[in-house]
Amino acid sequence: MKHKYIKKYSIHIMAVPGMKANLLDLPLEQCAFILLTNRTNDFLDSIKNRKLIVDINDVEDKRLPGAFNQAHAHYIIAFLDRLPEEVTDLYVCCSKGGSRSPACAAALLLMSGRSDKDVWLNPYYYPNHLVFKILCKEFGIHMSGLKTLSRRIINYFAFSLAKKRHNPGKYERWQILE
């Protein structure tokens, strides 16, 4: 299904344990949350609106239990379609903030007409290619195996180079801007 571009949100990639109210730069009304895990915390539990929980496992084989699928992608797209105009920031979270949430963030960047290269070039992340590929496909962005593979190779070399320089990355709050 081909969709129009989504709004250009500021996207924050976070681990669920790191999500706390004092991390928000804006009023809660301007924020929305996509959790790609059933893991949560007290702050996230307190949010009643503008939160989507997509209970998936961090697996990249669609045949495995809990794998990301087309229905999950549709939930995310429908959630984005329903967000009020005042929402400017998306917090995309998974258990550790390294695989599922960066994959979703990369797809969201493409869905808003931006480049996803900052995600793939970050040596801290190892985006889940199943989440990325299915979310892109269900939005209407053709992501061939070759395109996905090239992104994974870029990510691998970014990590290898950082490791060689003794700087493989660290956990930190990261915001993607236009």
- Higher-confidence position of 98 and 88: 88
User: Each residue of 126-155: b (16+ CB within 10 Å) or e?
Assistant: bbbbbbbbbbbebbeeebeeeebeebeeeb
What tokens does 143 get? 């992501």
pLDDT of residue 170: 54
- Specify the pairing of strand 10-15 against strand 89-94: parallel
164: pLDDT confidence band, cut at 50, 70 and 90? confident
The β-bridge partners of 108 are none
- pLDDT average, residue stretch 44-54: 95
178: pLDDT confidence band, cut at 50, 70 and 90? very low
In whole angstroms, what is the distance from residue 36 CA to residue 58 CA? 9
Give percent of the chain with pLDDT exceeding 90: 70
Q: Where are the domains of the chain?
A: 10-166
Ranges assigned E (strand) in the chain: 10-15, 31-35, 51-53, 89-94, 174-176
160: pLDDT confidence band, cut at 50, 70 and 90? confident
Q: Above 80 in pLDDT, residue 173?
A: no
- pLDDT average, residue stretch 118-136: 93
Which of 2.30.170, 2.60.40, 3.10.450, 3.90.190 is the CATH number of 10-166?
3.90.190
Q: Above 70 in pLDDT, residue 172?
A: no
pLDDT of residue 23: 86
- Specify the pairing of strand 10-15 against strand 174-176: antiparallel
Q: Is the dihedral of CA 53, 19, 33, 69 positive or negative?
A: negative
Instruction: Count CB atoms within 10 A of the CB of residue 82.
Output: 10
Per-residue pLDDT tens over the stretch 9-25:
999 999 999 899 888 88
